[in-house]
């Protein structure tokens, strides 16, 4: 597993405002969108391309376009939806799948309740979107879901991660497949309720309110 922590003043600034408990949902949603676009820039450094000929107003030259098969972006519902626009802004031609997962607050295990994904992901670069990498259970379950469909190149984009969650993903992945995790910051720890400390609270509730 490869970990990339985005080290940039704008990332740190936006993350600071997201952490603030007084930041209202509309501002929170806007900042998540902006922050994910910055993270997407880092996450797509290894996106596959192919060379093409292009005619400029002056001369012919060589350039690159995204290679086939197209990448697929997979937000983990519901909080991952708040990251989708920021990601597809940089990858507008990517396909979008959906994976509905939630954490059982008693067992802390991830439960899958919906999916909208191709049956065969062989050869596809997959980008998972989930704001918080806390215990790692949800992300491991999502990665496993993609691997069962043939994916071998998975990048997870998260706002925050806890060391415990990163260790869980590392243990699961090992050296079997190419998995990367791109985050804005790695925080101190998890508390007794498995929330990231200092964190930013429940990302889904802060994006969409408590339902």
* Active-site position among 7, 20, 104, 202: 202
Residue with tokens 């691997």: 147
* List of residues 6+ apart from 75 with CB closer than 8 A: 81, 83, 84, 87, 96, 98, 99, 128, 129, 130
DSSP state of 205: H
Please give the Cα distance from 55 to 135 (Å, whole number): 50
By the 8 A CB rule, do 207 and 79 touch?
yes
Active site residue 107: yes
Residue 205 falls in the annotated catalytic set = yes
- Binding residues for uracil, by number, are 196, 201-203
Q: Which of 33, 85, 178, 205 is the catalytic position?
A: 205
Residue from 93, 107, 175, 176 carrying the catalytic annotation = 107
| 202 tagged catalytic | yes
Residue among 19, 48, 70, 103 flagged as catalytic: 103
Binding-site residues: 78, 103, 130-138, 196, 201-203
178 counts as catalytic: no
Query: What is the biggest distance separating any 2 CA atoms in the chain, rounded to whole angstroms?
Result: 65
Crossing angle of helices 25-43 and 9-19, rounded to 10°: 150
The contacts of residue 150 (CB under 8 Å, 6+ apart) are: 120, 121, 122, 123, 124
Binding residues for 5-phospho-alpha-D-ribose 1-diphosphate: 78, 103, 130-138, 202
> Which residues are catalytic, by number?
103, 107, 202, 205
């Amino acid at each position: 597993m490869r970990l990339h922590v985005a080290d940039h003043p704008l990332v740190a600034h936006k993350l600071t405002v997201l952490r603030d408990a007084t930041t209202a949902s509309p501002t929170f949603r806007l900042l998540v969108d902006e922050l994910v676009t910055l993270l997407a820039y880092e996450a797509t450094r290894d996106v596959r391309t192919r060379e093409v000929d292009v005619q400029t107003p002056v001369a012919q030259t060589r350039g690159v376009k995204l290679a086939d098969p197209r990448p697929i972006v997979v937000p983990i519902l519901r909080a991952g939806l708040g990251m989708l626009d920021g990601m597809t802004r940089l990858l507008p031609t990517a396909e979008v799948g959906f994976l509905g997962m939630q954490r059982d607050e008693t067992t802390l295990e991830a439960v899958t309740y919906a999916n909208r994904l191709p049956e065969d992901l062989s050869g596809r670069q997959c980008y998972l979107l989930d704001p918080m990498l806390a215990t790692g259970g949800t992300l491991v379950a999502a990665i496993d879901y993609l691997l069962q469909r043939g994916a071998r190149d998975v990048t997870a984009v998260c706002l925050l991660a806890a060391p415990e969650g990163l260790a869980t993903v590392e243990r699961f992945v090992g050296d079997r497949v190419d998995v990367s995790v791109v985050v804005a910051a790695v925080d101190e720890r998890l508390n007794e309720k498995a929330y990231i400390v200092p964190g930013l609270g429940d990302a889904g509730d802060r994006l969409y309110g408590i339902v």
